[in-house]
Structure 1
Amino acid sequence: MINHILVNTKIAVRNALILLVRLVGIRLFNLNQTITFLTDSQRAYEPEYQLSLPDVFDAIDPDKQVFKRPEAVTLPTYAWQYTPRPASAALLPSGCLFAEGQVLCTDYWNYQAIKHRLRPPKRQTVQTDLLVAPFSHQQDMIAFGGYYDYLFLIAAKLCRLQQAMPEVSFADAAVAYPLFGTSYEQEFLTLMGFRPERILDSRQHDVTFTSCLLGSGGDWFYPSPADIRALQMRLTPLVHNPDKKREPTYISRAGRRRVVNEDALVRMLETYGFRIVEDKPRTLAEQLSIYNQASFVIGPHGASFSNILWCEPGTHLFELFAPDYAPPFFLYLAQLLGLRYSAAYQKRPDQNPVNAIEANMRVSIPDLERKLNQVFESDFR
Structure 2
Amino acid sequence: MIDPPIGYYSRTVDFLSTYKDETTPALYKRLPIQRTVMNTKPKGVETINWHYHPRIPRQFVASIPWGRVWGSNGSVITPDNKLLWDVSFEYNLTPKTHSIFKQKELSPITYTLETLAVITFQVSFNYFHWMFDVLPRLELLRKSGIAYDRIVINRGKYYHKEYCEFQDESLKLLGISKEMIIECQPDTHILAKQLIVSSMAGYSAHVPKNVCQFLRNEFLAKVKVRNESKNKRIFISREDALHRKVLNEKEVFAVLEKYGFKMVKLSTLSFVEKIELFNQAEVIVSPHGAGLTNLIFCNPGTKVVELFTPTYLLPCFHIISNHMELDYYGLIGEVVPRDAHRSNHKDPIVIDIDKLKKTIKLAELK
| Structure 1: 5+ residue stretches without partners | 1-20
Q: Determine whether 1:368 maps to 2:362.
A: no
Structure-2 residue corresponding to 1:95: 74
Question: Are the counterparts in 1 of residues 301 and 325 from structure 2 also a CA contact under 8 Å?
Answer: yes
Structure-1 residue corresponding to 2:320: 333
Closer/same/farther in 2, CA of residues 69 and 50 from structure 1, 3 Å limit = farther
Question: For 1:18-71, what per-residue CA distance to the aligned partner results, in whole angstroms no more than 9, with x for missing partners?
Answer: xxx9xx9834111241465699523561236243475446x23x3xx2136986
**Structure 1 residue ranges, 4+ long, deviating more than 6 angstroms after superposition:** 68-71
Q: Distance in 2 between matches of 1:25 and 1:303?
A: 34
Structure-1 residue corresponding to 2:208: 224
Structure-2 residue corresponding to 1:252: 237
Q: Equivalent of 2:288, from 301, 320, 337?
A: 301
Amino acid at match of 1:296: V
Structure-1 residue corresponding to 2:150: 173
Q: Determine whether 1:355 maps to 2:334.
A: no
Q: Distance in 1 between matches of 2:244 and 2:51?
A: 25
What TM-score, normalized by structure 2, do the two folds share? Answer: 0.79
| Structure 2: 5+ residue stretches without partners | 20-24, 90-94
Higher helix share: 1
Closer/same/farther in 2, CA of residues 371 and 219 from structure 1, 3 Å limit = closer
Identity %: 17
Greater relative contact order, per chain length (Cα 8 Å cut-off, separation 6+): 2
Q: Equivalent of 1:119, from 84, 104, 112?
A: 104
Question: For 1:83-142, what per-residue CA distance to the aligned partner results, in whole angstroms no more than 9, with x for missing partners?
Answer: x2xxx43212242322221332343744426427x633335736461312113x533xxx
Question: For 1:335-377, what per-residue CA distance to the aligned partner results, in whole angstroms no more than 9, with x for missing partners?
Answer: 1221111111112465666532111122233431233134233
Amino acid at match of 1:375: A
Question: Are the counterparts in 1 of residues 303 and 363 from structure 2 also a CA contact under 8 Å?
Answer: no
Q: Distance in 2 between matches of 1:287 and 1:90?
A: 36
Q: Distance in 2 between matches of 1:244 and 1:361?
A: 33
Compute the RMSD of aligned alpha carbons.
3.3
Question: Are the counterparts in 1 of residues 69 and 188 from structure 2 also a CA contact under 8 Å?
Answer: no
**1:163 Cα deviation from its structure 2 partner:** 4.6
Q: Distance in 2 between matches of 1:350 and 1:26?
A: 45
- What is the count of residue pairs matched by the alignment? 339
Alignment of 1:316-331 (within 5 A): 316-331=303-318
**1:232 Cα deviation from its structure 2 partner:** 2.4
Question: Are the counterparts in 1 of residues 5 and 101 from structure 2 also a CA contact under 8 Å?
Answer: no
Alignment of 1:190-339 (within 5 A): 190-192=172-174, 193-195=176-178, 198-217=181-200, 218-243=202-227, 247-254=232-239, 255=241, 256-339=243-326
Q: Distance in 1 between matches of 2:50 and 2:165?
A: 37
Structure-2 residue corresponding to 1:107: 87
Q: Determine whether 1:75 maps to 2:75.
A: no
Structure-2 residue corresponding to 1:157: 137
Q: Distance in 1 between matches of 2:223 and 2:173?
A: 14
Question: For 1:238-294, what per-residue CA distance to the aligned partner results, in whole angstroms no more than 9, with x for missing partners?
Answer: 444332867121111122111122123223222211132124243221112111111
Q: Equivalent of 1:49, from 17, 25, 35?
A: 35
Question: Are the counterparts in 1 of residues 237 and 264 from structure 2 also a CA contact under 8 Å?
Answer: yes
In structure 2, the residue corresponding to 1:265 is in which secondary structure? helix
